[in-house]
């Protein structure tokens, strides 16, 4: 009886685990792309110095994602990510009352175009045209509010860019 119960449990475990075959934690890795480098982020938006926040956010996102290794020199990388920031906007979206001329809430949006190119062939593997945005509460001054919201919008933009470049390619 014990032997039969042991065989039944072993068979049940084998059937249960066979359903998990091929499953992996995290995203799938790119075929032939194990390392990536970043080209300089080009800022065509007219808003000064936002490329620094986007560069930092994308580097952090690549490290966090873990599917590719970030390399500093392009000659040692399999692919390169090129980004152009095309638009920066800060638009009022909420007022406390109809009589108030000063907005209480703004939407900060950064729009970008990105390419993932093979270093070996120069072929464009995938592209992205996306944006990252963050709502901005008007504080004492708008400059402080923008400074606080910019890293959050850059983080969202970098997440969307990386997802577009990697997921679209697979």
- How does pLDDT run along the chain (170 residues), one tens digit per residue? 667 767 666 766 666 666 655 444 445 555 678 999 999 999 999 999 999 999 999 999 999 998 899 999 888 999 999 999 999 999 988 887 767 677 888 899 999 999 999 999 999 999 999 999 999 887 777 788 888 899 999 999 999 999 999 885 55
pLDDT of residue 162: 94
User: Of the candidates 146, 150, 164, which has an alpha carbon nearest to the alpha carbon of residue 56?
Assistant: 150
Residue whose pair of structure tokens reads 């808003």 in the numeric block: 47
How far does CA 1 lie from the centroid of its chain? 56
Q: For the chain, what's the residue count?
A: 170
Domain spans, the chain? 37-167
Residues near 117 by beta carbon (within 8 Å), at least 6 away in sequence? 79, 80, 81, 82, 123, 124, 125
The pTM of this model reads 0.78
* Apex 110 CA angle, 98 and 100, nearest 5: 10
Question: Which residues lie across from 127 on neighbouring strands?
Answer: 115
pLDDT of residue 102: 76
CA atoms within 13 A on the CB side of 92: 10
pLDDT of residue 23: 46
What does the H/E/C string look like for 77-141? CCEEEEEEEEEEEEEEEEECCCCCCCEEEEEEEEEEEEEEEECCCCCEEEEEEEEEEEEEECCCC
Within 10 angstroms of residue 161's Cβ, the number of other Cβ atoms is: 25
Q: Into which CATH architecture does domain 37-167 fall?
A: 2-Layer Sandwich (3.30)
């Amino acid at each position: 009886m014990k032997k039969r119960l042991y065989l039944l449990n072993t068979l049940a475990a084998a059937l249960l685990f066979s359903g998990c075959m091929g499953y992996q934690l995290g995203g799938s890795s790119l075929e032939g792309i194990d390392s990536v480098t970043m080209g300089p982020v080009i800022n065509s938006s007219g808003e000064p110095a936002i490329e620094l926040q986007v560069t930092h956010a994308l580097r952090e996102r690549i490290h966090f994602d873990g599917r590719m290794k970030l390399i500093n020199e392009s000659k040692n990388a399999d692919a390169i990510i090129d980004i152009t920031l095309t638009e920066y906007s800060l638009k009022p979206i909420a007022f406390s009352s109809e009589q108030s001329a000063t907005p209480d809430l703004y939407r900060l949006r950064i729009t970008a175009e990105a390419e993932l190119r093979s270093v070996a062939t120069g072929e464009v593997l995938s592209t992205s045209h996306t944006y990252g945005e963050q709502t901005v509460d008007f504080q004492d001054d708008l400059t402080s509010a923008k400074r606080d919201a910019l890293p959050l919008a850059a983080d969202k933009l970098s997440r969307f860019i990386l997802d577009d470049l990697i997921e679209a390619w697979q």
